[in-house]
Amino acid sequence: MKYRKWDAKIKTKIILESLEHKIPLAELCNKYQINQSLYYYWLNEFQKKAHKAFESEHKLKEENKKLKQIIAELSIELKKTELELSEEGEQ
């Protein structure tokens, strides 16, 4: 088999296709012209790193929470400033 570079999306597609058991592994490897050892290497990498897909979700939720807190604090400061300005204008 000739040397080719596979991008992450194609590797993921191949791994997910195999996990869905649509076709036997030998047939899948023939279809994409890859060795079974390469497939098992990709599968191992996929399994080791799959949890990262959910970590980014958690990080985004935490960042969103922090940003909401900042917005709330700034909103309070803005209201205080508006009240102070309106009180100064009445005097």
Collapsing DSSP to helix, strand or coil, 33 comes out as coil
pTM across the whole model? 0.58
Encoded amino acid at 24, one letter: P
> 16: closest CA among 56, 57, 47?
47
Q: pLDDT tens across 18-54, in order? A: 999 878 999 999 999 999 999 999 999 999 998 888 8
Residue 90 has pLDDT above 90, yes or no: no
Cβ atoms of 29 and 35 within 8 Å: the answer is: yes
Q: pLDDT tens across 46-86, in order? A: 999 988 888 777 888 899 999 999 999 999 999 999 998 88
